[in-house]
Structure 1
Amino acid sequence: MSGLLALLDDVAAIAKVASTSLDDIVGQATKAGAKAAGAVIDDAAVTPKYVHGLAAARELPIVWRIARASAFNKLVILLPVALLLGQFAPWAIPPLLILGGLYLCYEGAEKIWHALTHEESHAAIKNPELTAPEQAHLEEQRVKGAIKTDFILSAEIMTIALSQTDATAGWVMQAAVLALIAVVITAAVYGAVALIVKADDVGLHLAETGRTAFGRRLGRAVVRGMPGFMKALTIVGTAAMLWVGGNIVVHALAEMGWTWPYDTIHHAAVAVAEAVPSAAGLLEWAATAAMDGVLGVALGLLIIPLVGLLPGRGKEAGAH
């Protein structure tokens, strides 16, 4: 009997340790996921364009193909690379974060620049009637382009996540945190993308076949509201890219020893917060995000002409 009680005590102790470890994994994953919000929102905002103009029946299979590739890239390629960096070259993480932050700044600023200097031509983006082989070729190109973009954003997400994990917890804990982030973010992003790309079809079905007047009205509202929703999603995604991109660069520079940008923004945000003590926390966050965003725009605009000098980029920009 005493042996059984001792065994139960051991099981209880192991369960307690496991529970604590699980709490730590979830806590670190939540913190790291919040830091990667800009890249995550951008991923969800960018992906729906890759199914635009293709047959409705192919939308979900395309999203599924991209989601599978995204999970593979995060878990099989990027997670081991991130762990190796954390164990053997932690000094490389801040420079990589800066590169990722600059990429987000460039993407956000390029979207703003394109919106200001190009007229939207909806007629130009509609595809003519394509044959089955042409549709298959277009789908393959779209999937490859989406996977390439997702890989860049996934690399940024995993690098940000690695920088937020507890380096003293050991590589097993870091691997568990990164794996949890990879699975949850991939499921959340592509689950949201699937809902977005099928919302029009669901709304149209409700509008045409709804059994109640409310259902039909709801369907028509969804159909009418999706263009505005997509535009709002693009704006939010762009703002998030610029804010998080600037924030990443500022914090990475501080980790490398150049604290002036971080200190300047922090002191200015604190000064703004002190003006309204009752909302100090919210104001400090908003002021920091706004200044990080302005910095992100400035950095992105500086990078745009440099990217234009790269081979092939001029033609690509002209065809945008």
Structure 2
Amino acid sequence: MPSGLVALLDDVAVIARTAAASVDDIAMAAGRAGSKTAGVVIDDAAVTPSYVTGLSPARELPIIWAITKGSLFNKLIILLPIAMLLDYFAPWLVIYLLMIGGAFLCYEGAEKILEKLGGAKHGQTVEDEIEDPVAFEKQRIAGAVRTDFILSAEIMAIVLNELTQNAVIADSLWQKGAALAIVAVVVTVAVYGTVAIIVKLDDIGLALTKRESEAAQKFGAGLVAFVPKLLTALSVIGTAAMLWVGGGIIVHGTHEIGFNFLYDIAHGAEYAVAGATGALSGIAGWFTYAAISAVVGVILGAIIAFVLHKVIGYEGAH
């Protein structure tokens, strides 16, 4: 075999091994960074079913698919290029964008609580008489995609921050971009795939009640009875997660920019509770920090809601 061809094959082999190593590095970095977004992902998965609750069962999956496409557009077309530009030109700006997103989550969560406590509702809800179902559906999708944009921005910013601290790919812009894209797609498919299953559980249960098997009928009936309770629980979890995630972002963000008051209180309480609870220290400490973050979220969100609705007069729909 000519020596030139051997050298060429050697070069190709080296390139192939380098590419394979890069893929492994990207996958590992994406996995580690993606795990840091668990709180926001739970929030996203818990909040989304509320956007189809009370609507026609035939429209549930098309609505979720529309939200899924909007979420992918948010992450891959809008947020990914912005994240790359910020990482290259102004990495210091990421923390401020995170805090803006966190403040929005606090506002959304606090307003839901205020509405439950008898405050004025802003925008049409499924409890109201729906005069134009098509327009109402578009409103719900737009609201879901808007909320998803904030949650997606939080996810992308958290992942970018983690990737920047990864010694393997910290200096490679294209590897960070690839890892961000992987997390964006995996999170979106996981969240909205789960949501699609959740909202169709009652239909699955109804289908099982029509089977000949008595066991299938009983299981189906139980599933039908369980779904409304699950959706109610998810609504509560979603609101709590908005406040916990949003407040936590504010607590951490203010610490990053040099204001340590909230951070010291939250972590001081976390360590005190963890130190006093023995085997439950990890869970108890985390719950304490999350609870304090949620309180911060409620207070900040209520202030924002008051300013928007009472001072400015904003009455926009979610």
Q: Same fold (TM over 0.5)?
A: yes
| Pairwise CA distance, 1:11 | 7.2
The number of residues matched between the two structures is: 310
Q: 1:158 to 1:124 in 2, by over 3 A?
A: closer
Matches within 5 A, 1:150-299: 150-166=148-164, 168-207=170-209, 209-299=210-300
For 1:282 and 1:53, locate their aligned partners in 2 and report how far apart those are by CA, in whole Å. 35
**CA-to-aligned-CA distance 1:136-158 (integer Å, 9 cap, x gap):** 44433433333233223222322
Identical-residue share of aligned pairs (%): 49
1:96 aligns with 2:89: no
Q: 1:205 to 1:170 in 2, by over 3 A?
A: same
**CA-to-aligned-CA distance 1:261-280 (integer Å, 9 cap, x gap):** 22332232212212233333
**CA-to-aligned-CA distance 1:69-120 (integer Å, 9 cap, x gap):** 2112210111000110111011111111111111111212222222222699
For 1:118 and 1:8, locate their aligned partners in 2 and report how far apart those are by CA, in whole Å. 72
For 1:124 and 1:74, locate their aligned partners in 2 and report how far apart those are by CA, in whole Å. 28
2:301 counterpart residue number: 300
| Pairwise CA distance, 1:244 | 1.5
Q: Which amino acid aligns with 1:206?
A: L
2:42 counterpart residue number: 41
TM-score, with length taken from structure 2: 0.84
2:138 counterpart residue number: 140
Q: 1:138 to 1:234 in 2, by over 3 A?
A: closer
1:117 is paired with a residue of what secondary structure? Answer: coil
Query: Is the Cα contact below 8 Å between 2:47 and 2:239 reproduced in 1?
Result: no
Q: Which amino acid aligns with 1:226?
A: V
1:165 is paired with a residue of what secondary structure? Answer: helix
2:71 is paired with a residue of what secondary structure? Answer: helix
Q: Which structure has more helix as a fraction of its residues? A: 1
2:63 counterpart residue number: 62
Q: For the aligned residues, what is the CA RMSD?
A: 3.1
For 1:30 and 1:193, locate their aligned partners in 2 and report how far apart those are by CA, in whole Å. 22
**CA-to-aligned-CA distance 1:5-30 (integer Å, 9 cap, x gap):** 98898777666655554454344434
**CA-to-aligned-CA distance 1:180-201 (integer Å, 9 cap, x gap):** 1110111011111211221111
Matches within 5 A, 1:4-19: 17-18=18-19
2:117 is paired with a residue of what secondary structure? Answer: helix
1:112 counterpart residue number: 113
TM-score, with length taken from structure 1: 0.83
For 1:259 and 1:26, locate their aligned partners in 2 and report how far apart those are by CA, in whole Å. 35
Query: Is the Cα contact below 8 Å between 1:265 and 1:288 reproduced in 2?
Result: yes
For 2:176 and 2:126, locate their aligned partners in 1 and report how far apart those are by CA, in whole Å. 47
For 2:148 and 2:307, locate their aligned partners in 1 and report how far apart those are by CA, in whole Å. 23
